[in-house]
Amino acid sequence: MTDESSSVPRSGRTGAVDQTRARSSEPADEEALWRLYEAVEELDARSEGHRVDREVYRRMLGSRRNRSRARPRMLGRGEVAAHQSVVDSANFLDDLDTSTEAARSLLDVMRSRRSCRSFLPDPVPDSHRELILEAGRWSPSAGNAQPWEFLVVTEPAAKEALAEALALAVGTMRVLDDTFPGYANPRYVTTAPLLVLPYADMRCMAAYPYPLPREPRRHMLEQSMAMCIQNMWLMATRLGLGATNWTLGHPVVDSRIREQFGVPEHFVMSTLLVLGYPRHVPMPRPRRALEEMTHLECFDADRVRSDEELVEFFYEYGVRGRGFR
């Protein structure tokens, strides 16, 4: 569950339970439902991550390489040559088209990106898949830890099992909040020819400043993965593919996916990427005007949307709007 939903008092969450009971042929056991809800909220799904985090950081601090970092030394002749070759290859701006036209071409790719949930059965060429993963590989990451591992899924049986796990999450969420209209039928996952499950190695958080509390370092890990997914999505768009992401977060579903694919406990996945040639291209969603969200030199709080304006926006343009789907 998100922090926002967990901050809502129990008395404010009873709407979904009441509506579920009203539609059911049998009365719902409200107390049992809330016990399940609270158990899921209190479950420390990242306890393994805490242990791995501490162990890896202690190992890193005790390593000879870490201790030697405090002692500067001169590079040998071979090391100087190797370092210079890396520097020379990094002068990418010499060959990069930095014209306004090229920049607008990149912006056109960003504007063309859509969330597609209906795909043709045509397979994605291996060359396209490699380019998509290569785009993810070149993503920025906190501490240059490069925490990603890409699990590629194309087998129909594996996609069927994955869709069953996602259906469990959707069913649970609908019971807890059936006012949210944005739950998609996970069956579309089985029709996509290519799935990429981007897993993050939690041991990479040892590369971040350890005095920071664990939560900010977890954010650094998730931000790295978000940039990686964005890179892959944009490359897919440039190749004429449709894509969408499925956000995870339910510990039971996470456990089932881990078991299905043999994923170690210290790897986490917050969202998966669904890719294929679109059966139809969705219409673009409205965007706020740039001048509405741009603040020059200082933040202008008077221009920020009010609570009422935000709610109106959600229902006019967001997933809660009647015309969204």
H helix intervals, the chain: 3-6, 14-23, 30-42, 47-61, 64-68, 77-89, 100-112, 126-137, 156-176, 188-191, 214-238, 251-261, 290-293, 307-317
User: Could you tell me if 153 and 261 lie in one domain?
Assistant: yes
The tally of domains found in the chain comes to: 2
Residue 1 CB partners (closer than 8 Å, separation 6+): 40, 41, 249
| Residue 145 domain flag | yes
User: Could you tell me if 188 and 313 lie in one domain?
Assistant: no
| Residue 99 domain flag | no
| Residue 102 domain flag | no
**What gap in Å lies between CA 158 and CA 254, rounded to an integer?**
15
User: Could you tell me if 155 and 300 lie in one domain?
Assistant: no
| Residue 31 domain flag | no
**What gap in Å lies between CA 120 and CA 242, rounded to an integer?**
10
pLDDT (0 to 100) of residue 183? 73
Give the CATH number, domain containing residue 269.
3.40.109.10
| Residue 79 domain flag | no
Residue 131 CB partners (closer than 8 Å, separation 6+): 235, 239
User: Could you tell me if 216 and 306 lie in one domain?
Assistant: no
**What gap in Å lies between CA 278 and CA 276, rounded to an integer?**
6
pLDDT (0 to 100) of residue 293? 94
Burial zone of 297 (CB within 10 Å; 0-12 exposed, 13-18 middle, 19+ buried): exposed
User: Could you tell me if 265 and 314 lie in one domain?
Assistant: no
- Axis-axis angle for helices 156-176, 251-261 (nearest 10): 170
User: Residue 220: which of 14, 53, 76 has the closest Cα?
Assistant: 53
User: Could you tell me if 309 and 279 lie in one domain?
Assistant: no
Q: 35 and 43 in contact (C-beta within 8 Å)? A: no
**What gap in Å lies between CA 103 and CA 89, rounded to an integer?**
22
**What gap in Å lies between CA 193 and CA 132, rounded to an integer?**
14
Burial zone of 61 (CB within 10 Å; 0-12 exposed, 13-18 middle, 19+ buried): exposed
Neighbours of 217 (CB within 10 A): 22
User: Residue 220: which of 234, 210, 232 has the closest Cα?
Assistant: 210
User: Could you tell me if 247 and 270 lie in one domain?
Assistant: yes
Structural domain of 228: 43-72+108-284
User: Could you tell me if 224 and 314 lie in one domain?
Assistant: no
| Residue 209 domain flag | yes
Backbone angles phi, psi at 29, to 5 degrees: -85, 90
| Residue 312 domain flag | yes
**pLDDT averaged over consecutive 10-residue blocks of the chain (325 residues)?**
40 41 42 55 52 66 58 53 55 78 95 94 97 97 96 97 89 78 84 97 88 82 96 98 88 87 93 95 89 95 92 83 54
- Axis-axis angle for helices 100-112, 214-238 (nearest 10): 100
pLDDT (0 to 100) of residue 185? 86
pLDDT (0 to 100) of residue 188? 93
pLDDT (0 to 100) of residue 61? 61
User: Could you tell me if 291 and 274 lie in one domain?
Assistant: no
User: Could you tell me if 233 and 308 lie in one domain?
Assistant: no
